[in-house]
Amino acid sequence: MNAEPSAALANLTPRPGVPKPDPVLVLDEVRRSFGGLQAVAVEHLEVPRGATTALIGPNGAGKTTLFNVLTGFDRADSGTWAFDGRSLQGRRAHQIARAGMVRTFQLTKALGRLTLLDNMLLAAPGQSGERITGALLGRWRAQEAKHRAQAEDLLDRFGLAPLRHDLAGTLSGGQRKLLEMARALMARPRLLMLDEPMAGVNPALRQSLLDHIREICRRGTTVLFIEHDMDVVMGSSHWVIVMSAGRVIAEGPPAAVGSNRDVIDAYLGRHHGEAAGR
Amino acid sequence: MDILKVLTDSLRAAVGVPAAAYALAAVGLNVHFGYTGLLNFGHVAFMMMGAYGTAVTVDQGGPLWLGLLVGVGLAVALGLLLGIPTLRLRADYLAIVTIAAAEILRYVARSNTLEPLTRGVFGIQQFADPFYTLNPIPPGRYGFGTFNFSHRQLWVILVGWTAVALLLLLLTALLRSPWGRVLKAIREDEDAARSLGKNVFAYKIQSLVLGGVIGAFAGMLLAIDTQAVNPDTFISILTFFAYTVLILGGPGRILAPVVGAVLFWFLLQFADGFLREALAAGWLGSALEGNDIAAIRFALVGLGLILLMVLRPQGILGSREELLTDER
CA distances from B18 to B14, B148, B226, B271 (A): 9, 16, 10, 17
**Greater confidence, A17 or B289?**
A17
Rounded to 10°, the helix A141-157/A173-186 angle is 130
The secondary structure of residue B135, as a DSSP letter, is -
**Distance of CA A185 to CAs A125, A146, B23, Å?**
11, 15, 41
Which of B196, B198, B199 to probe by mutation at the A interface, max A CB count within 10 Å?
Answer: B196
**Do A102 and A118 fall into the same domain?**
no
On the question of pLDDT at A66 being above 60, the answer is yes
pLDDT of residue A272: 56
Answer whether A103's CB lies under 8 Å from A184's CB.
Answer: yes
Strands B228-229 and B124-125: what pairing? antiparallel
* Site from A132, A172, A191 to mutate, B interface, most B CB atoms within 10 angstroms: A132
Identify whether A247 is part of a domain.
yes
A228/chain B closest Cα distance in angstroms: 22
* DSSP letter assigned to residue A89: T
Question: Side chain identity at A245, as an amino acid letter?
Answer: A
**A208 part of a folded domain:** yes
Question: Same domain for A15 and A148?
Answer: no
The rounded distance, in Å, linking the Cα atoms of B325 and A115 is 11
What pLDDT digit, counting tens, does each position of B172-188 carry? 999 999 999 999 999 99
Residue B193 and residue A123: Cα distance in Å, rounded?
8
Distance from CA of B68 to the nearest CA of A (A): 23
- Please tell me which residue, B24 or A244, carries the higher pLDDT value: B24
Using DSSP bridges, classify how beta strands A191-195 and A101-103 pair: parallel, antiparallel or unpaired.
parallel
Q: Are residues A166 and A133 in the same domain?
A: yes
In angstroms, how far is the first alpha carbon of chain B from the final one? 50
Residues in chain A: 278
In chain B (328 residues long), the average pLDDT of successive 10-residue segments reads 86 92 96 94 96 93 93 96 87 89 92 86 87 86 85 92 96 94 95 94 96 97 93 91 91 92 91 85 75 82 83 81 60
Segment holding B48, helix H or strand E: helix B43-59
Among candidate residues A140, A80, A144, A143, the one with its CA nearest the CA of residue A118? A144
pLDDT at B318: 81
- CB contacts under 8 A, B 234-263 vs A, are 252
Asked if A68 and A206 sit in the same domain, the reply is: yes
In angstroms, the CA A109 to CA A120 distance is: 13
Query: How confident is the model at residue A204, as a pLDDT?
Result: 82
Domain count, chain A: 2
- Closest Cβ opposite residue A167 in set B174, B210, B321: B321
pTM of the model: 0.90
Query: How buried is residue B310: exposed, middle or buried, by Cβ count under 10 Å (0-12/13-18/19+)?
Result: exposed
Query: Are residues A227 and A155 part of one domain?
Result: no
**Are A208 and A80 found together in one domain?**
yes
Are A109 and B182 within 8 A, CB to CB?
no
CB contact under 8 A, A132 and B321: no
State the pLDDT at residue A1: 45
In a domain, A178, yes or no: no
CB A16 within 8 A of CB A251: yes
Hey, what long-range contacts does B123-126 have (CB within 8 A, 24 or more apart)?
B123/B55, B123/B228, B123/B229, B123/B230, B123/B231, B123/B233, B124/B55, B124/B56, B124/B59, B124/B228, B124/B229, B125/B227, B125/B228, B126/B227, B126/B228
Same domain, yes or no: A153 and A37? no
Q: What is the predicted pLDDT for the residue at A273? A: 52
**How far apart (Å, rounded) are the C-alpha atoms in residues B219 and B198?**
32
| Residue A49 within a domain | yes
**Structural domain contains residue A175:** no
Cα-Cα end-to-end distance for chain A: 42
Q: How far apart are CA B50 and CA B222, in angstroms?
A: 10
At B222 the pLDDT is: 95
Answer yes or no: do A121 and A99 share one domain: no
| Whether residue A204 sits in one domain with residue A103 | yes
**At A101, which CATH number?**
3.40.50.300
Cα A238 to the center of its chain, rounded Å: 14
Q: Which residues contact A146 (CB under 8 A, 6 or more apart)?
A: none
Burial class (CB in 10 A: 0-12, 13-18, 19+), A3: exposed
User: Are A7 and A69 contained in the same domain?
Assistant: yes
Pairing of strands A86-87, A78-83: antiparallel
**Residues A127, A95 share a domain:** no
| SS3 state at A260 | coil
Domains of chain B from N-terminus onward: 3-326 (1.10.3470)
Do A127 and A90 fall within a single domain?
Answer: no
Domain of residue A123 covers 114-170
User: pLDDT tens digit string along A38-52?
Assistant: 999 999 999 999 999
Interface probe, candidates A91, A102, A108, A114, chain B, greatest B C-beta count within 10 A? A114
CB contact under 8 A, A113 and B328: no
Residue A161 falls within a domain, yes or no? yes
Give yes or no for a contact between A97 and B197, defined as CB atoms under 8 angstroms apart: yes
> Which ipTM was obtained for this model?
0.89
